[in-house]
Structures are given as structure tokens and as C-alpha cells.
Structure 1
């Protein structure tokens, strides 16, 4: 049987990445992840990620680049993590999360990541550190 793909999005905005704290299920509640969900039949990974981020956070995002690696979340479910850019909206924890935090490259170790999300942090830290600073409005 082929694994079903689960997509997670490392949403990068103004040199920071969005982390989401799980509220369910109980075995992962309180730990942090890159939000996302299962791809539906016939959906590409990028379509699935963009749909899931709208449903879970109320934002429009664009999948940009798949991060290296794939992880078996549980039998039959394989996680692929993507870098995504925030297109519009202000992220809110609408489903499965109870807190969100924007983290800079030096803050990534401040939260208790799920193991598979933690695996991409070195790559993500390099990406964030290399990103040009985005000016803020006065």
C-alpha cells in the first residue's frame, strides 16, 4: 500500500517562520509543528498545503520549495515539509492548534518541536539567516 502524503508548511515572512502548538491529539498536544495536513486524492502537494493553511490558519500562502527529507508520521502517512510564503491574512489558530509564534533563526530552539519538524530546523535556520531583511512600516 502506498503512503498517503501529509504536507507541512514552514511559513516564512519577514525573516521569521511560523510555529504552531498542537492542541490535539493528546499524544502530541503542547508540542510545536509546521502546520498542514493530508493531501486529498488528486491534489498536488502544493495545492494540499495551500488549502490546509487556509483551513487551519485562515491565511493564503504559496508553497515555494520542498525541504529535504520525508518522515513516516504513522503507518500509511508520510510527511513532506515545504517552505511557504505568506500571501495574505493574519494567521490564527483555527483548528488543531492553540498558539502560534513567529520565530527568527536564533529562536528556533525555544519551542518543543515534534521530532520530524525538528529534523529540518538546521536547513531552515540557514534559509532564514540568508533572507534579506524586510523593512517594516514606520
Structure 2
């Protein structure tokens, strides 16, 4: 059986990261994650992530660099994260209980979905850099 890729997007605006609160399954409900979903057969990671974020959040994104390492969810399922930039649409929690912007100081204290904790170090580094050297608008 081919390996199923699941993608997650780190949407950062200024020095804040968008996190999404799970609605389901019951064992993950109420926990926070980077939003995303499964890549369809024949779809690239970037195309799958852009499609999932449009469906889940109502936003159009440009997919950027990989974030951290792959996380094995099961023997046949791999989770990958990418940095994304919103280029259109309006944020709305279509598939989540809530959306929230968090700063670097709030990252460690959130109740995260276990798999997403693997990226907290990389997210902390990015958010600290953005706080010290904010990107120019329009870059």
C-alpha cells in the first residue's frame, strides 16, 4: 500500500502563527494543530495543502518551504508541514472548532495534537526571527 501523505500549513502573519482547534475525532477534539489534510493521489504536496486550506479555512495560500522533519503517523501515513502565505480569501473555521493566532510565547503552553509537537522547535525559531526581523510587506 502506498504511503499516504498528510500536509499541514504554518500560516504566519507578522509574529503570530495561525492554529486550528480540532473538532474530531473524539480523541483529538479540543487539541490544537496546524491546519491541513490528506494529499490526493496524483496531487503534489503543495497542491494538496493549498486545496485543503481553501476547503478548511476559506483562504488561498502560496506554499513555501518545508518545516522541520516528516512525522510518521502510522506505518503507512506521513505528516509534513510547510510554511504558507495567505494570498486571498477570508479565514473561517469550516472544519475546526476555532482558529486562533498565537505568539512565540504561547506555543509551548497550547494543548497540541501530539504529532504537531514535533515542529514546535522550528516554529519557535521562525516566530522569534519574525519578531526580531519582521518581513517587509509585499516580499
Aligned to 2:126, the other structure's residue is in SS state helix
> For this pair of structures, how many residues does the alignment match?
135
Counterparts in 2 of 1:35-50, with a 5 A limit? 35-50=35-50
User: Which blocks of at least 5 consecutive residues in structure 1 are unaligned?
Assistant: none
- Give, in whole Å, the separation in 1 of the partners of 2:53 and 2:27: 22
Aligned to 2:92, the other structure's residue is in SS state coil
- Give, in whole Å, the separation in 2 of the partners of 1:84 and 1:114: 20
If the length of structure 1 is used for normalisation, what is the TM-score? 0.90
Aligned to 2:69, the other structure's residue is in SS state coil
If the length of structure 2 is used for normalisation, what is the TM-score? 0.89
Aligned to 2:108, the other structure's residue is in SS state helix
Counterparts in 2 of 1:1-138, with a 5 A limit? 1-95=1-95, 97-131=96-130, 132-133=133-134
Deviations 1:88-118 (A, max 9, x none): 23311101x1011101111112310112211
User: Which blocks of at least 5 consecutive residues in structure 2 are unaligned?
Assistant: none
Aligned to 2:122, the other structure's residue is in SS state helix
Aligned to 1:64, the other structure's residue is in SS state strand
Deviations 1:40-94 (A, max 9, x none): 1111000100110000000011111111211222342210111111112331110
Aligned to 2:116, the other structure's residue is in SS state helix
Q: Which runs of 4+ in 1 moved over 6 A?
A: none
| RMSD (Å) for aligned C-alpha atoms | 1.7
